[in-house]
């Protein structure tokens, strides 16, 4: 990934994909996991959006690592990078739960008479994984965003306090 886009650091531009898509995927996943009718109607679409959201995370972390080498090292930047590294596994859990929910639902609709007894238990387990991953991902995106803003603007706020 290039370190700049149109002469600007790539990270602040690319990170907006994550900031938009992950919360969108979180809300949509919660709806699909907790509302069976929504699951039947929109689970494949939500899975597609969530897939793009999860794939955007490595782009943001890669561009962040490039930027990290260009700015002065600080504890705030280090904390931001550590928090960002935790997002992919959390979003991956959300995606996995949603993928299983979508697959089991698709199978059960195609074979209603032959739907296995375990489909209900797998659906509940997948919903729990999807909801847990979604909530954790939403919280983590907020934590990452706050730490990134703190790393960027902390000197400005410190100087304003001296006036």
Q: Is the pLDDT of residue 132 over 70?
A: yes
Distance between CA atoms of 17 and 26, rounded to whole angstroms? 14
Give the relative orientation of helices 36-68 and 87-110 as an angle to the nearest 10 degrees: 150
pLDDT in tens, 51-107: 999 999 999 999 998 888 888 889 999 999 999 999 999 999 999 999 999 999 998
39 is in which domain, residue-wise?
4-161
Looking at the structure of the chain, the number of domains it has is 1
Token pair recorded at residue 38: 């929504």
Q: How confident is the model at residue 1, as a pLDDT?
A: 67
pLDDT in tens, 31-55: 999 999 999 999 999 999 999 999 9
Query: Residue length, the chain?
Result: 163
pTM to 2 decimals? 0.89
Angstrom CA distances, 23 to 79, 97, 106, 136, stand at: 21, 16, 25, 11
């Amino acid at each position: 990934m290039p370190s700049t886009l149109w002469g600007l650091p790539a990270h602040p531009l690319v990170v907006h994909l994550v900031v938009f898509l992950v919360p969108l995927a979180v809300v949509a996943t919660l709806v699909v996991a907790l509302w069976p009718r929504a699951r039947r109607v929109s689970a494949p679409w939500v899975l597609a959006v969530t897939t793009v959201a999860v794939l955007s995370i490595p782009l943001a972390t890669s561009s962040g690592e490039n930027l990290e080498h260009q700015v002065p090292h600080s504890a705030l930047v280090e904390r931001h990078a550590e928090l960002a590294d935790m997002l992919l596994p959390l979003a991956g859990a959300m995606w996995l739960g949603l993928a299983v929910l979508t697959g089991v639902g698709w199978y059960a609709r195609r074979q209603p008479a032959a739907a296995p007894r375990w489909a209900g238990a797998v659906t509940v387990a997948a919903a729990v994984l999807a909801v847990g991953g979604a909530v954790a991902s939403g919280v983590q995106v907020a934590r990452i965003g706050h730490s990134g803003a703190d790393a960027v603007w902390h000197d400005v706020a410190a100087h304003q306090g001296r006036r």
